């Protein structure tokens, strides 16, 4: 029963939110009594499913002084994250999008950015070569909140954090962060779950060079995630440093993460770290660091529509590159949205070049119920299924030391558990370097 319950929430989360008899020795009774576990499981997951947890609702719990202090700290953290907005937009997916003045965003709480002079535009864009792949006639991605309004110029759209978002993570320290490095291709073995949370990948990569940017068009689907503390994502990583605690990483793509967002929608996301996910960095705008300038893209918001089996295909086009003059790392979404940048000051190794780029999918496998997860990667189908069935990355490229976008290059692939999630790479004039990837997870050959 302990393993089953752990698949849904952490012990710390149970202790924070528990509303049962104070005299109950909860962990011991949970192991001994399925009834006690089931009661608290129902209570907490009803809380998870609620659309809102107001301050009044939180105060209604029968809490000890210690738990009240925890809840007060949650609200204090919410006041830090949710900056004053000049306008708020309610999205049909339950999100509230706050329009926050650019200079008031959380980024400038970073001690290295308090006197930062905002760079309004990059001094140089990557130069497209004659052999660049064609864009193709693919449908552009929108975000659900666009149906209900727009943020005015001079502001940025920020997804408002709610109390239950932090509660699902189990603590303030865990919220908005991940703690697993990307795969190191030259030393990969089948990953064993760490505390029940093993990460598995299917990626393409380039290394042993200096890279000043990367691009990809990433097919967007809505993969099924078996239990709430697992996720499925598709992204690119720009990496510098070693895999010994000092890794710098800039990441962008889409993900389905019920624990982080409270639903199963595919969402645009970013991530950064300077110490291999130990104490720096975060998802999206959930800590100080990334400086957003665009008033149309909400990082962390739902993407819509998404691709369908043998139907219309949608992808997001992501370009990240280092401004040769300032050293800031810029992000562009599609051809029209210059989203913002990661300032050079927040990095150590990425003050120079990246030494590896990875593109591909990642899932968390907690081995729920003692077997491999059925959480899907990509579309949930294997690469051999091809277009409109398997998920893809296309138009892969990297930026070299001359600020040239290179689209013809040799690359390698890696799938840690190919019977669960696989990858197949190819090249064409229309798509350039591309690959299909993904899989269903648990199946007769993956267990």
- Of the residues 200, 251, 276, 424, only one is catalytic, namely 251
Name residue, tokens 């306008």: 87
> CA 257 to CA 23: how far, in whole Å?
35
Buried b (16+ CB within 10 A) or exposed e, 223-251: bebbbbbbbbbbbbbbbbbeeeeebbbbb
Number of Cβ within 10 Å of residue 441's Cβ equals 28
Active site residue 251: yes
What is the layout of strands, in order, in the sheet containing 87-90?
A: 87-90, 96-101, 155-159
SS3 content of the chain, % helix, strand, coil (to 5): 20, 30, 50
Upper half-sphere CA count for residue 239 (Cβ side, 13 Å): 25
> CA 176 to CA 158: how far, in whole Å?
14
Would you give the DSSP letter of residue 22?
T
Query: Is there a contact between 104 and 84 (Cβ–Cβ < 8 Å)?
Result: yes
State how far Cα 62 lies from the chain centre: 35
Active site residue 362: yes
The string of DSSP codes covering 383-411 is GGG-TTTSEEEEEEEEE-TTSEEE-----
- Backbone angles phi and psi of 324, in degrees to 5: -60, -25
Burial of 194 (0-12, 13-18, 19+ CB in 10 A): exposed
Largest CA distance in the chain: 73
Tokens of 95: 């999100």
Name residue, tokens 């370097």: 433
- Backbone angles phi and psi of 89, in degrees to 5: -125, 125
- Of the residues 164, 226, 362, 424, only one is catalytic, namely 362
**Enzyme catalytic residues:** 251, 362
């Amino acid at each position: 029963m302990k393993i089953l319950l752990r698949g849904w929430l952490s012990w710390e989360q149970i202790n924070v939110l528990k509303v049962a008899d104070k005299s109950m020795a909860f962990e011991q009774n949970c192991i001994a009594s399925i009834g006690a576990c089931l009661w608290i499981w129902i209570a907490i997951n009803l809380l998870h499913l609620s659309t809102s947890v107001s301050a009044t609702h939180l105060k209604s719990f029968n809490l000890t002084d210690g738990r009240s202090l925890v809840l007060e700290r949650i609200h204090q953290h919410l006041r830090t994250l949710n900056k004053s907005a000049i306008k708020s937009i309610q999205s049909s997916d339950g999100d509230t999008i706050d329009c926050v003045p650019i200079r008031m965003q959380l980024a400038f709480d970073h001690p290295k950015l308090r006197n930062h002079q905002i760079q309004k535009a990059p001094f140089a864009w990557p130069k497209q070569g004659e052999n660049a792949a064609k864009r193709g006639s693919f449908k552009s991605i929108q975000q659900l909140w666009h149906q209900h309004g727009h943020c005015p110029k001079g502001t940025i759209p920020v997804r408002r954090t709610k109390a239950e978002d932090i509660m699902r993570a189990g603590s303030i320290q865990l919220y908005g962060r991940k703690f697993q490095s990307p795969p190191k291709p030259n030393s990969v073995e089948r990953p064993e779950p760490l505390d029940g949370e093993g990460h598995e990948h299917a990626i393409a990569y380039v290394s042993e060079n200096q890279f000043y940017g990367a691009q990809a068009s990433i097919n967007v689907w809505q993969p099924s995630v078996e239990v709430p503390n697992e996720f499925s994502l598709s992204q690119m990583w720009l990496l510098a440093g070693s895999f010994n605690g000092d890794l710098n990483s800039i990441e962008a793509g889409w993900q389905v993460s019920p624990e982080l967002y409270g639903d199963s929608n595919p969402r645009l996301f970013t991530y950064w770290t300077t110490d291999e996910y130990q104490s720096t960095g975060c998802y999206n705008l959930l800590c100080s660091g990334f400086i957003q300038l665009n008033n149309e893209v909400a990082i962390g918001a739902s993407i819509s529509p998404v691709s369908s089996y043998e139907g219309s295909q949608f992808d997001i086009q992501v370009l990240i590159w280092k401004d040769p003059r300032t050293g800031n790392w810029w992000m562009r979404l599609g051809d029209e949205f210059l989203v913002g940048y990661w300032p050079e000051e927040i990095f150590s190794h990425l003050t120079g070049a990246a030494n590896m780029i990875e593109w591909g999918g990642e899932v968390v496998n907690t081995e729920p119920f003692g077997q491999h997860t059925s959480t899907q990667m990509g579309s949930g189908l294997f690469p051999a299924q091809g277009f409109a069935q398997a998920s893809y990355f296309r138009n892969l490229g990297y930026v070299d030391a001359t600020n040239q976008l290179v689209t013809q290059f040799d690359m390698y692939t890696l799938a840690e558990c190919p019977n669960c999630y696989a990858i197949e790479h190819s090249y064409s004039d229309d798509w350039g370097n591309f690959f299909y990837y993904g899989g269903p997870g648990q199946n007769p050959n993956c267990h």
